[in-house]
Amino acid sequence: MKYRHHWLSGDRIDLPTGKVVCVGRNYAEHIRELNNPLPDDPVLFIKPSTSLASLETPFAIPANRGEVHYETEIAILIDSRLQNASESESICAIKAMGLALDLTLRDVQSRLKAKGLPWEVAKAFDGSCPVSGFIAKEHLPDFDDIQFSLKVNGKTRQEDTSAHMLTSIPGLINYISRHFTLEPGDIVLTGTPAGVGPVKQGDQLELSISDRFTLTTSCL
């Protein structure tokens, strides 16, 4: 089934399906667990619209391409065109928020990084960005304290808050808009906290944002 933006209720959001702009290395503990250097500025990369899939139904992960890692992230849905936006303009352009998995072919990524090559093959493959339904930003007014978590087969693997981001959500959108024009229907992924690891077919996942929503899904 082709991906469409939608509310948690299942109702469709009347925005086109755009690109996904991802932020790497935005939580210090995650940077340390992968032995990466602390960046001076946000690390950006893009997933195409074909990377999007729904988290509400079981989603497929690649087979025979080495380990596939989950990276749980707050997802921001944009509803205005942004270019060189201020932080206040960035906040106004947020339509809604949800959760997403930045699925990563970790073995492939490690080989590419060792050769100094781009990561797209490891990060931007079809279905590499399963995303939840969205909730209006008015229900999560404190962008600096969004608590979220991931359980895999009943065990908590990731649990953190946006308070620990190196660059805040408005700051990220502001920075991104200086490099890439954001269009209505684009999604911004805001970085993953520590605790990333492999996921495999048959795993059961539970993702939550504080007391706002919890959804369960599985890997095919």
pLDDT in tens, 149-195: 999 999 999 999 999 999 999 999 999 999 999 999 999 999 999 99
Which whole-number Å values give the CA distances from 104 to 10, 66, 145, in the listed order? 27, 10, 26
The per-residue pLDDT for 140 is 87
Nearest in space to 171 (alpha carbons), one of 54, 53, 44, 28: 44
Whole-model pTM: value is: 0.95
- In the chain, domain spans: 20-218
- Class (C level, CATH) for 20-218: alpha beta
Low-confidence spans in the chain with pLDDT less than 70: 31
